[in-house]
Chains A and B, each alone.
Chain A
Amino acid sequence: MSRDDRLVDTTPMQVIELPGVEHWRLHRDDDKLLWLALDCAGASTNTLSAAVLGELAVALDAASEARPRGLVLHSAKPNGFAAGADIRAFDDMLDPDQTARQIDEVHALFARLENLPFPTVARVHGFCLGGGLELALACRHVVADDASATRLGFPEILLGIHPGFGGTVRSIRQCGALAALDLMLTGRAVNARRARALGLVDRAVPRRHLDAAARHFAGMWHTRREPAWWKQAVSHGLLRPLTARALRHVVARKAPEQHYPAPYALLRLWARHGGDETRMYRAEARSIAELLTTSTSRNLVRLFMLQERLKGFGREAGKPIRHVHVVGAGTMGGDIAAWCALRGLQVTLQDRGAEYLGGAVRRAHRLFERRVRDRYERLAARDRLVVDLDGHGIGRADVVIEAIVEDVAAKRALFRAVEAQARPDALLATNTSSIELGEIAAALDDPARLVGVHFFNPVAQMQLVEIVSGGATRAAVAARAAAFVAAIDRLPLPAQSAPGFLVNRVLSPYLQEAFSLLAEGVDTAYIDETARAFGMPMGPLELADTVGLDICLHVGEILAAAFGGEVPGVLREQVTRGRLGVKSKAGFYEHGKRRRPAAKGRRDVAAADVRDRLVLRMVNEAVACLREGIVADADLVDVGMVFGTGFAPFRGGPLNYARERGVSEVLTRLRQLEAQHGARFAADSGWDGFGRDAQ
């Protein structure tokens, strides 16, 4: 047995051989209890692939044969119980009939587990998500480690599907429909104590008692947990349709059905079959088999895999990163420092004077209040963030991040000083969003040391971080920067240093076009509504107000200087009048108690025209970036725009959108728009290459 599935107490264990099985291991202890460990071969995380599930059948045969008093199902991986189904296999599930048949088989397997003639217990630690949670729920009892690392949930909805291994039935059976649907519709994960309150698990206990709790439930028959009568009431045939309709309304406010079919399918499934488990299992299999073929699901699954690819960029086996020094305690610097402290790093935060740091400390504490439940962990996070006015941390840090004003001379001077004090192996990073990396690096004795680590605002919500390499940046330095970003749970995207890098560069034409529409007298709210209807989380003008119009203007000027074009007058006018967006309570909207547009305008422009003008300019710019090699390939453009800007995830990114809509159609549209509105719609020369690949 490896160290990690060692049981807390040292009961002698006897191995039961499972011939031909590589992912499961079975032991018997002196109390005639069986311990079945899931230990996926060649992986650090358990997933339920077809092979794993096939072998479970063999293991269950062996277990039945052994006639034990009970069985404990657990994981041999330190990080958790199981992360869910094997998402890589989703790519092959294009035939709904065949998929439904495969899922029926899994249902039969889980039903066998559920109906074993002895008590079964899932002993859960770490993450227990999706298919993993469904497997646990097929056991008679579940006991969970109450540490904060334990997360139980159904994230399927984030992949455009819903639970498919009987989870819809069993979670509702355990928690009642409202609580279970809430979990499945939001995809949020809960800790063990919350799971206990919901009825998902029987006990949430400290790790030291986890095995004792498992033994307790496996040793003899106990009553199964059941939701209170009032939680079951909504499932009654008379109330179910009403409840489902009410929930549809709630869901519709967040996710329209034409873009996100899965929540609606889940509600339909429950509304129709909630009273009959057998039929609901069958309908669940059918429903998920169909959802897997929707473009929404395929795009979300693709993004999930791309996200894994980005995490892979951070898999550098260097020295662990422990201490980060941040220079500049403005919004970005302060929030980067707070985020690093939240993720467990020692942080020193420096600025010119104490008066600049109060705000950063306040925001950090707000972040810890929101994100850290446990008061002792919260205190530890606060203690990890140290204000360091004199920059003593520079000499100790593994990473030094600069986040001061966007001024080349200031940054150069700073990095000269930092280079002299920092450890020779320390990573020197700049959070610049607009200055070419080489210009700053030139000040260093070793320009190859400097790398861009470009976070997005708000740091706590935007997962993407651009890892920017200038011409001189050493590859190993960029790799180390990616490792740092991955270590703080963000997604590193390697990019080349060119004005705007990837995300701001592609986003900019979208904003510019919104300003042009505005200048033509089109209604503010109408422009934003159209963008939201396309699937953007925020319209371009709301976004500009949120980012700050002065910042938009600054970025616009830099990009205009680099690529031609001009900064729209409407934007400059707002800034001159001191209307900077949300931060000054006025911009394109008045941000009072209730937000309302600052001006009304025409709504007689076709929504499709507004949409194409906004989106296709962005798509066109994305193609240009691809041609210039700002990022390595089209997938990275897409994943960057989705996680850097919230570009409609179900559309899979701007280039995927062009591909799905058809490259020739997009080009036709661009030509039309160019004829109407001018050269800014001229198709980029990169379309030739992209079109060929997209065929």
Chain B
Amino acid sequence: MAVSSSRSAAGHAPARPVYIVDGARTPFLKARTGPGPFRPSDLAVHAGRALLARQPFAPEAIDQVILGCIMPGPEEANIARVVALRLGCGDRVPAWTVQRNCATGMQAIDSAAQDIGAGRAELVLAGGTEAMSHAPVLWSPRMAAWLAQWAAARTFRQRLGLLGALRPAYFKPVIALLLGLTDPVVGLSMGQTAEIISRRYGITRTDMDAYAVRSHQRLAAAQSEGRLDEIVPLFDDDGGVHLHDDGVRPDSSLDKLARLKPFFDREFGNVTPGNSSQITDGAAWLLLASETAVEQYALPVLGRMVDSQWAGLDPRQMGFGPVHAATPLLKRRRLGFDKIDYWEINEAFAGQVLACQRAFADEAYCRDELNLRGAMGEIADERLNVDGGAVALGHPVGTSGARIVLHLLKVLEQRQARRGVAAICIGGGQGGAMLLERA
């Protein structure tokens, strides 16, 4: 089993302070029927324009644009550059695209922080975008081979032969989204990995559903109390105005969720669409700045990115990723759980977040898997995902990592708190964690 520790080279604090000065995101739009109104680049452009419009500097003043995206459209090669140009950053601002599966958005922030920390940049625009409703439907490899032969066929005879070789099964479409949510090495779907880790701690269907209901209620409360001011509205071509995360179900209840059938392990599983994160479109940006840039433009500081950590673990138990990443991070900074005011742990699955909470508190797990002498501690429910999470508002894979960092900073600000950790589990068996502080 993979072991991560503070010895890992995957985490180190930046040499210069890294500030996060502003951020914005689109409302998250639940995928309903077919492709939504925005492509990944459109989402990123909309959020980015609103963010840049309120800055005291011109878009050309940015040193670098880093954007995460797992499934850019075929016309969006190096989508970061596409978006940077569309945002008016100009020809001279370089841009690159990052990917670390579910933590892609967090990777963009980490890469930006590294550039600023190392003195390679003063001002970096970083974020993530994903339009999961636009995930392509593909031909099978056999059909692709057949089409290539057809294109190469010269004579009528050859074509006739090829027509005879065509089989109905070739027409079966390949849904890229489902493939993307299946681990390509161990062959488990993400939902099945959540089944594994929740079974390990005996987390019941009712526990999961109760968590999901709370996530919806917390998001609904945050919406009605106006705590999601990082959202900028989206306008589609048909005059539609999108103001809020539309996956929220304020009327969600245990009764309603109990009626849903398990999706991944159909007969004996517990993970249902109701207690999993939703398939959603959305983009989020953060603006990172060095001390020099903060002073030069008199930028208001939202918070500081203090340190980050990446960790690898068993792909079959990828949901424990936050535990494996946050532990060495906090150990290195010599911070106990009592020093962490708020947590954002991405809700890939309700059972997965619950399992992380249990693992942190489990002496055996911490000893066997993390080489600790005792348990890390308990994360109190009222300090974790206080405004709901991906179960209620969705998990656009390229975006969520940036969203939780941005929202954690908002939580710290709104609640006058000092320190927080954003952590995320990563399909393929990794975890990412970021330590943030209000200045």
Could you list which residues of chain A lie within 8 angstroms of chain B, going by C-beta atoms?
A: 346, 348, 354-355, 357-359, 361-362, 365, 379-380, 383, 386-390, 392-393
Contact = CB atoms under 8 A, between A and B. Distances in A.
B225 interface: no
A383 B82 CA distance: 12
Given A357-B241, A379-B86, A387-B233, A392 B53 contact: yes
Contact of B235 (A358, A380, A383): A358
A361 B233 contact: no
B338 interface: no
B54 A359 contact: no
B382 interface: no
Contacts of A387: 50, 233, 235
Contacts of B233: 354, 357, 387, 389
A348 B53 contact: yes
B49 interface: yes
A358 B241 contact: yes
Contact of A365 (B45, B54, B87, B237): B237
Given A354-B243, A379-B86, A383-B86, A390 B54 contact: yes
A379 B237 CA distance: 12
Counting chain B CB atoms within 10 Å of each CB, which of A379, A386, A388, A393 scores highest? Answer: A386
A362 B239 contact: yes
Interface in B228-270: 233, 235-241, 243
Contact of A392 (B54, B238, B240): B54
B241 A354 contact: yes
Contacts of A346: 88
A358 B86 contact: no
Given A383-B86, A390-B54, A362 B238 contact: yes
Contacts of B239: 358-359, 361-362
Q: Which 7 A-B pairs have the closest CB atoms?
A: A362-B239, A361-B235, A354-B233, A358-B239, A358-B241, A365-B237, A392-B54
16 contacts: A346-B88, A348-B53, A354-B233, A354-B235, A354-B241, A355-B241, A358-B239, A358-B240, A361-B235, A361-B239, A362-B238, A365-B237, A379-B86, A383-B87, A388-B53, A393-B53
B284 to A, nearest CB: 18
A421 to B, nearest CB: 13
A362 B237 CA distance: 5
Counting chain B CB atoms within 10 Å of each CB, which of A346, A387, A393 scores highest? Answer: A387
Contacts of A354: 233, 235, 241, 243
Counting chain A CB atoms within 10 Å of each CB, which of B45, B53, B87 scores highest? Answer: B53
Contacts of A379: 86
Interface in B113-170: none
Contacts of B49: 383, 386
Interface in B39-70: 45, 49-50, 53-54
Counting chain A CB atoms within 10 Å of each CB, which of B49, B86, B238, B241 scores highest? Answer: B241
A357 B239 CA distance: 8
Given A390-B54, A392-B53, A392-B54, 10 more contacts: A354-B241, A357-B241, A358-B239, A361-B236, A361-B237, A361-B239, A362-B238, A383-B45, A383-B49, A389-B233
A interface, over-half SS: helix
A194 B87 CA distance: 32
A358 B239 CA distance: 4
A479 to B, nearest CB: 27
A362 B241 CA distance: 10
A387 B241 CA distance: 11
Contacts of A389: 233
A46 B233 CA distance: 48
A359 B241 CA distance: 9
Contacts of B241: 354-355, 357-358
Contacts of B88: 346, 383
A359 B239 CA distance: 5
Contacts of A358: 235, 239-241
Counting chain A CB atoms within 10 Å of each CB, which of B237, B238, B243 scores highest? Answer: B237
Contacts of B45: 383
A388 B86 CA distance: 17
Contacts of B50: 386-388
Contacts of B235: 354, 357-358, 361, 387
Contacts of B86: 379-380, 383
A362 B37 CA distance: 13
A126 B243 CA distance: 44
Interface string B326-364: 000000000000000000000000000000000000000
Nearest to B240: A358
Contacts of A392: 53-54
Interface string B75-101: 000000000001110000000000000
A512 B227 CA distance: 55
B77 to A, nearest CB: 15
A386 B53 contact: yes
Contacts of B238: 362
A392 B88 CA distance: 16
Contacts of A390: 54
Contacts of A386: 49-50, 53
A348 B54 CA distance: 11
A315 to B, nearest CB: 28
B62 to A, nearest CB: 16
Contacts of A380: 86
A388 B49 CA distance: 9
B235 to A, nearest CB: 4
A392 B51 CA distance: 10
Contacts of A393: 53
A390 B50 CA distance: 10
Contacts of B243: 354
Nearest to B237: A365
Contacts of A348: 53
Nearest to B58: A396
A390 B229 CA distance: 13
A639 to B, nearest CB: 36
Nearest to B53: A392
A362 B45 CA distance: 17
B50 to A, nearest CB: 8
B230 to A, nearest CB: 14
A390 B49 CA distance: 13
A8 B246 CA distance: 54
Nearest to B56: A395
A572 to B, nearest CB: 33
A346 B59 CA distance: 13
A390 B233 CA distance: 12
A354 B244 CA distance: 11
Contacts of B240: 358
Contacts of B54: 390, 392
A270 B309 CA distance: 82
B95 to A, nearest CB: 15
A255 to B, nearest CB: 36
Contacts of A359: 239
Contacts of A383: 45, 49, 86-88
A354 B242 CA distance: 9
A255 B53 CA distance: 49
Nearest to A383: B86
Contacts of A355: 241
A379 B45 CA distance: 11
B406 to A, nearest CB: 18
A633 B113 CA distance: 65
